[in-house]
Structure 1
Amino acid sequence: MALKDILVHVDNTPPCKRRLEFALAVARQHDAHLTVLFASNISNLQGFGSRSESVLKAAEEAQARFKALAADSGVTVEWRQALIPGSDQALIQEVRTHGRHADLVILGQQDPEARSDVIPPDLPERLMLELGRPVLVVPYAWRFSGRVGRALVAWNGGREAARAINDALPLLQKADWVQVLAVNPAERDREHGPIPCADICLHLARHGVKSESSYLVAHDIDVGNMLLSRAADEAADLLVMGAYGRARFTELVLGGATRHLLRHMTLPVLMSH
């Protein structure tokens, strides 16, 4: 298994530069092709010519930034642009269509203090539940160290966690340090077995991933906070976890840890559903 096709969704916000740098670094590390997609909703701008022009200008500026960063990256890249004259769901469907032809889709966390009227605020949540590909979400407030060297893997023995580990294998194989962490494993003893994380670490070893197992017991702290705390303590560059939730009519119902991580992430998080 290898990462050979990566898609990154870009916009013209300041955090996007770090997201693009991260995507280029991952593509370079895996000798992968990188597709850069500027997808924006213009349905809310109809009747406001100057605002429509501002979206086109933002696309031009984002493309110029992309070309400058990619020029000496050593990565094969392509630029795609999609201005969607429809609903938020139409834009999500557009990104989803492009993303299903990639091994990994990289998105940006939404900044609650700088909401955009042309990017759906629930884009990461929708895609991770609907895409069928792993989604790697990059925080808006974060500094990229240059590579993914230290990875923390959240393991509870569930289906989504198993998918996430399998999807993250190429990244874990190139990491310098991998820790597999179970939180309150006694609550799911059937999935964990007698020694929490032992079997999944053995599985990773057979794929060339040297990992260490660990578990935490703390029933008075939510899982999301515990994962972020351990990631900070271990100076992790990446968190791998299953995405729990479902789309019910127009409402997203997310698991507590998934929802917490999307709101409060302090490092890139790879999620699979």
Structure 2
Amino acid sequence: MRFKSLLSIVEVNQTDNDLKIAIDLCSEINAHLSMMVFAVASLPPIGDYPIGTADVWVKERQSDLAALKERVNTVEMLVRDAGISASITDEYPEPAQIGHIVGRYARYADATIVGPDLLANETLKSKVIDGALFESGRPIFLIPHGTKPTLRPKRVLLAWDFAIECARAAREALDIMASAEAVHVTIVDPDTSSIANGPEPGADIAGYLAHHGIKVDVDRLPSGGEPIADVLKQHATDISADLVVMGGYGHSRTREWIFGGVTRSMIEDPSVPILMAR
């Protein structure tokens, strides 16, 4: 699909780095930028606390809201100077609400950008990714430090294992892959059973992509006992991939999203930008 609207999530104390990346991506593909700027609200005092504690909480809340307003003003100026179509909202959620609010905003964008500053924030990263990936029905675009993200990549690695999540990721990235010089469908330790990939793993998805005018190579790799995520990362380096496209796996346990092993490893230590869908 064509990406015409991107969502960027920025915490109030972050630098402008993630925002500038989002602006550049939207400028590259002439997309609308939706910005959600947020500060995390402290929980109100409960129980038999002295009155002074409540007063401190009120003052902290007022300070947070003032800082949030100032940050929104700065973001508005940066976006205006960039000359792109944009809309900016602010939120002040408690920690448990972050994922749900991100998911609500993400439903109304084609993809959510998770930039390097947010990825480096161990406290907020999982909450934002949980909401954007599992509560929106939209893909996320993970951008690690030191990379040059683009939605017009020359080389793409499509991680494939025949699952529904992989099929969804491939569908979301069709237009991106169609403009690439090469797309490497990459299968680690391919399953040749009839209920999985069949006798020629990768042939079916390669045919599907070829019908969309996509230049496809199928790479079948042995893991050699190494973690699948490590094999994918190394192969992305070997083929000079600008982007990895993959499915995101997880399940809900007591209302908290638990990532599957490969998904978790790729999120924790991405080596190249990743477009992930579920």
Shorter-chain TM-score range: 0.7 to 0.9
The residue that corresponds to 1:77 in the other structure is 86
1:16-165 to 2 correspondence within 5 Å? 17-44=16-43, 47=57, 49-50=59-60, 53=63, 56-57=66-67, 60-61=70-71, 63-64=73-74, 67-68=77-78, 71-72=81-82, 74-84=83-93, 86=94, 88-108=95-115, 114-116=121-123, 119=124, 121-139=126-144, 141-144=145-148, 148-149=152-153, 150-165=155-170
Larger Rg: 2
Q: What's the counterpart of residue 53 of structure 2?
A: none
User: What is the TM-score normalised by the length of structure 2?
Assistant: 0.82
Q: What one-letter code is carried by the residue in structure 1 that aligns with 2:259?
A: L
Pick one of 166, 175, 179 that aligns with 2:171.
166
Query: Structure 1 stretch 21-30 or stretch 247-256: which is displaced more?
Result: 21-30
Match of 1:5 in 2: 5
Tell me how far apart the structure 1 counterparts of residues 261 and 152 of structure 2 sit (CA, whole Å).
26
Q: Percent identity?
A: 27
Aligned counterparts of 1:152 and 1:23: Cα–Cα separation in 2: 22
Q: Provide the rounded CA distance (Å) in 2 between the counterparts of 1:257 and 1:204.
A: 24
Deviates more, 1:106-115 or 1:211-220: 106-115
Query: Which string of whole-angstrom CA distances, capped at 9 and with x for unpartnered residues, describes residues 194-225 of structure 1?
Result: 22222212211222222221110124011111
Three-state SS of the structure 2 residue aligned to 1:25 is helix
CA contact (8 A) 1:63 1:79 kept: no
Deviations 1:22-77 (Å, cap 9, x if unpaired)? 323332333221111112321348717357525643663465256336623x5311
Question: 166, 171, 179: which one pairs with 2:184?
Answer: 179
Q: What letter matches 1:143 in structure 2?
A: T
Is residue 226 of structure 1 aligned with residue 231 of structure 2? yes
Q: 1:197 to 1:55 in 2, by over 3 A?
A: farther
- Structure 2 spans left out of the alignment, 5+ residues: 46-56
- Compute the displacement of 1:253 (Å): 2.5
- 8 Å CA contact 1:148–1:238 kept in 2: the answer is no
TM-score using structure 1 length = 0.84
- Structure 1, gaps ≥5 residues long: none
Summarize the Cα distance change of 1:59–1:176 in structure 2 as closer, same or farther, 3 Å threshold.
farther
- 2: distance between equivalents of 1:75 and 1:208? 30
Q: Which residue does the alignment assign to 2:218?
A: 213
* Alpha-carbon distance in structure 1 between the residues aligned to 2:11 and 2:238: 32
Asked if structure 2 preserves the Cα contact closer than 8 Å seen for 1:42 and 1:52, the reply is no
Alignment check: 8 A CA contact 1:185 1:196 kept = yes
Alpha-carbon distance, 1:227 to partner: 0.9
Do the aligned partners of residues 44 and 233 (structure 1) sit closer, same or farther apart at CA in structure 2, a change above 3 Å counting? farther
Q: Against the structure 1 CA distance between its residues 112 and 106, is the aligned structure 2 distance closer, same or farther, given a 3 Å change threshold?
A: closer
* Deviations, residues 90-122 of structure 1 (Å, cap 9, x unaligned): 222111111111111112467787545xx4643
Question: In 2, distance between residues paired with 1:96 and 1:256?
Answer: 22
Residues 138-186 of structure 1 show CA distances to partners (whole Å, capped at 9, x for unaligned) of 22x2232666422211001111100011111222223333211011103
CA distance in 2, matches of 1:256, 1:194: 26
Distance 1:19 1:243 in 2: 22
AA matched with 1:64: T
Structure 1 residues 255-270: aligned runs within 5 Å: 255-270=260-275
